[in-house]
């Protein structure tokens, strides 16, 4: 594992009946970020949480809150999630008619801006806003559900984006979300990923297993 590889456990796989405790436990186990999946049952086929839950969780960890908005329209909700405590807000280019405006809105709200690329979304969709992005999230499953298998074709996308970012001299983070296991984590790392989102692989087995789960994801 590279010294800079970060892990962002997704609370989508946590026990929602004790979510605050789960955030504290995964933080103590060594999480670098806390990944929060927001789904609207419209842009993706699932329904999760809103800014009120993010606000309620904020006191439970000082780690960066990495909020992935799988919702449309997205722009009307950006300010609420930023005020709730999101450090990173990531949206999909397809979720609104003017993605550059979305990026501007995220930054204006005081958060760092991310773009999420679905498995079939070409990186060209963000070519002209890449210089303004803090993060690019490569979805290695189709968004909407946890526990899916890694789509290996996305490794080429990770490699392409990392090369492009390096060529342009940018500091943009490459994050990968979907089907991340100790095995696929190594593939993502070799392809150039900076941050790995893991749900099932991070939270399986309960709190006593969290530290070992994260250690395995780091290749330890």
- Binding positions for a divalent metal cation are 35, 37, 68, 177
d(CA 163, CA 91): 22
Q: Which residue has the tokens 């992005």?
A: 133
Indicate left, alpha or beta for 192 from its phi (over 0: left) and psi (-120 to 50: alpha). left
Contact predicate 68/106, CB 8 Å: no
Q: Tell me the Cα Rg of the chain.
A: 16
- Binding positions for substrate are 10, 68, 144-147, 177-179
Phi–psi pair at 139, nearest 5 degrees:
-80, 115
Taking the CA of residue 90 as centre, how many other CA atoms within 13 Å lie in the half-sphere pointing to its CB? 29
Q: Around Cβ 148, how many Cβ atoms within 10 Å?
A: 16
Structure tokens at 100: 């550059």
CA distances from 62 to 143, 173, 208 (A): 27, 20, 21
Residues labelled as active-site residues: 37, 177
Helices 154-167 & 182-191, crossing angle to 10 degrees?
30
Nearby residues of 217 by Cβ (< 8 Å), 6 or more positions away:
7, 180, 181, 182, 185, 196, 198, 201, 202
SS3 135: strand
């Amino acid at each position: 594992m590279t010294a800079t590889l970060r892990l962002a456990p997704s609370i989508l796989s946590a026990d929602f009946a004790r979510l605050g405790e789960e955030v504290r436990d995964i933080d103590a186990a060594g999480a670098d970020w806390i990944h929060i999946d927001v789904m609207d049952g419209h842009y993706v086929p699932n329904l999760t949480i809103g800014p009120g839950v993010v606000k309620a969780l904020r006191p439970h960890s000082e780690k960066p809150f990495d909020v992935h908005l799988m919702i449309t329209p997205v722009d009307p909700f950006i300010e609420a999630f930023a005020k709730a405590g999101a450090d990173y807000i990531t949206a999909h280019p397809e979720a609104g008619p003017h993605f550059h405006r979305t990026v501007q809105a995220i930054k204006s709200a005081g958060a760092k801006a991310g773009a999420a690329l679905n498995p079939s979304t070409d990186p060209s969709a963000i070519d002209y806003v890449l210089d303004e992005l803090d993060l690019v999230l490569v979805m290695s499953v189709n968004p909407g559900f946890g526990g899916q298998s890694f789509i290996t074709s996305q490794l080429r996308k990770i490699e392409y984006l990392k090369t492009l970012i390096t060529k342009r001299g940018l500091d943009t983070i490459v994050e990968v979300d979907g089907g991340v296991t100790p095995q696929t984590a190594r593939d993502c790392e070799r392809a150039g990923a900076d941050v790995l989102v893991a749900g099932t692989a991070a939270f399986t087995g309960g709190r006593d297993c969290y530290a070992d789960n994260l250690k395995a994801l780091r290749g330890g």
